[in-house]
Amino acid sequence: MSYTTKALVASVLFAGSLMAGAVQAQTEIKLGHVGEPGSLFDRSSQEFARIANEKLGGKAKVVVFGSSQLGGDSEMLKKLKLGTIDLSLPSTVMSSEVPVFGLFELPYLVKDRDHMVRIRDEIVTPILVPAAEKDGYHILGVWENGFRQITNSKRPITKPEDLQGIKLRVPQGVWRVKMFKAYGADPSPLAFSEIFVALQTGVMDGQENPLAQIYPARFYEVQKYLSMSDHVYTPAYLTAGRSWKKFSPEIQKALTEAAQEVQPTVYKIAAEMDEDLLKKLKEAGMEVNQVDKAAFIKASAGIYKSFEDEVPQGGELIKKAQALASKS
């Protein structure tokens, strides 16, 4: 083989490898979330990836990055807008980006998962999803973060007054800060990945999260008391950003179908985890108590009033969500 022929073959092979690399980069769909291995976020995302990759049939591949590998919730939302990641699973933080999502920051609004399904179909999909779209976020599916409970290292929390002076980590959303200030706590937003060390070092006395986040993150190692408050139910939203438009209609269809097909499975896994993880947290040595929900509901009236006053159509959204609780 002549030198010229060898050079030509080499250049063709090199160009081919570059093209292969470019195709691979284009077809890897990055999904980031903050959940630890075994968390509801992790299990939901892995099941979605399995279903989506079957539907994609090699056209593209969903790759999951958990444990805040791609950043915290706020950082990942920024990356969605930049197009540097493709999918993320935000929860509370959406209320800081799109005000109407503050609906899910209202204490004791969502009664159970059946109620949430009705809210999803009659409020989230027709009202909240288009609002997010206007701000550059394309929501593919509504999953779950869960019913939130309070943990701390000081004392059992039975009524709002018991939170007086407790340094409490809350997620990055304005309404959660308002809520716990109204209850008497000293709340501070902090990225999920920073909670354990903050609790371990005493920077924070407590935090609030669903059991499906509390146990996988091993908060039981640095918290003594678990107070079952169910104070807020937080959905999670499988969300795309700028890169969504680069995908072909076939890929978009596969991802959207997978995101919605996995929704019933997410709720089923979540319910099972709530029961199983409560037992495990007790076995791990946490002292568990029930709160006086009536007292917390009474202390929450100001939060509802603020939402009505500050968010356009806030009062209408509240009434619509409450009305859906009584439907069968």
Q: What is the per-residue pLDDT for 173? A: 87
Query: Among all chains, which residue has been given the structure tokens 């706020």?
Result: 74
State how beta strands 206-210 and 138-152 pair: antiparallel
Q: Say if residue 255's pLDDT is above 50.
A: yes
Structural domain includes residue 268: yes
Q: How many structural domains are present in the chain?
A: 1
The CATH number of residue 205's host domain is: 3.40.190.170
Q: What is the per-residue pLDDT for 7? A: 45
DSSP one-letter code for 86:
S
- How does residue 27 score in pLDDT terms, banded at 50, 70 and 90? confident
Q: For residue 11, which amino acid is it?
A: S
> What is d(CA 190, CA 170) in angstroms, rounded to the nearest whole number?
6
pLDDT above 90 coverage of the chain, percent = 90
Q: Say if residue 15's pLDDT is above 80.
A: no
Structural domain includes residue 8: no
Mean pLDDT of the chain: 93
Q: List, for residues 108-160, the tens digit of each pLDDT value.
A: 999 999 999 999 999 999 999 999 999 999 999 999 999 999 999 999 999 99
Q: What is the mean pLDDT of residues 240-262?
A: 97
> What is d(CA 101, CA 284) in angstroms, rounded to the nearest whole number?
35
> What is d(CA 207, CA 172) in angstroms, rounded to the nearest whole number?
13
The model's pTM is: 0.90
Q: List, for residues 197-238, the tens digit of each pLDDT value.
A: 999 999 999 999 999 999 999 999 999 999 999 999 999 999
- How does residue 328 score in pLDDT terms, banded at 50, 70 and 90? low
Structural domain includes residue 76: yes
Q: What is the mean pLDDT of residues 303-324?
A: 97
Structural domain includes residue 3: no
Query: Among all chains, which residue has been given the structure tokens 């008497």?
Result: 184
Structural domain includes residue 9: no
Neighbour-count burial of 1, counting CB atoms closer than 10 A to its CB (0-12 exposed, 13-18 middle, 19+ buried): exposed
Q: How many residues does the chain have?
A: 328
Buried b / exposed e along 3-27 (16+ C-beta atoms within 10 A): eeeeeeeeeeeeeeeeeeeeeeeee
Q: List, for residues 69-90, the tens digit of each pLDDT value.
A: 999 999 999 999 999 999 999 9
Structural domain includes residue 4: no
Structural domain includes residue 299: yes
Q: What is the per-residue pLDDT for 326? A: 84
Q: What is the per-residue pLDDT for 23? A: 42
Q: Say if residue 186's pLDDT is above 50.
A: yes
Cβ proximity of 132 and 266 under 8 Å: no
Q: What is the per-residue pLDDT for 25? A: 45
Phi then psi dihedrals of residue 237, to 5 deg: -125, 115
- How does residue 35 score in pLDDT terms, banded at 50, 70 and 90? very high
114: tokens are 């059946």
In sequence order, what DSSP letters do the residues of 186-242 get, joined into one string? EEEE--GGGHHHHHHHTS-SEEEEEHHHHTTTTGGGT--EEEE----EEEEEEEE-G
Question: Domain range spanning residue 249?
Answer: 18-324
Cβ proximity of 203 and 169 under 8 Å: no
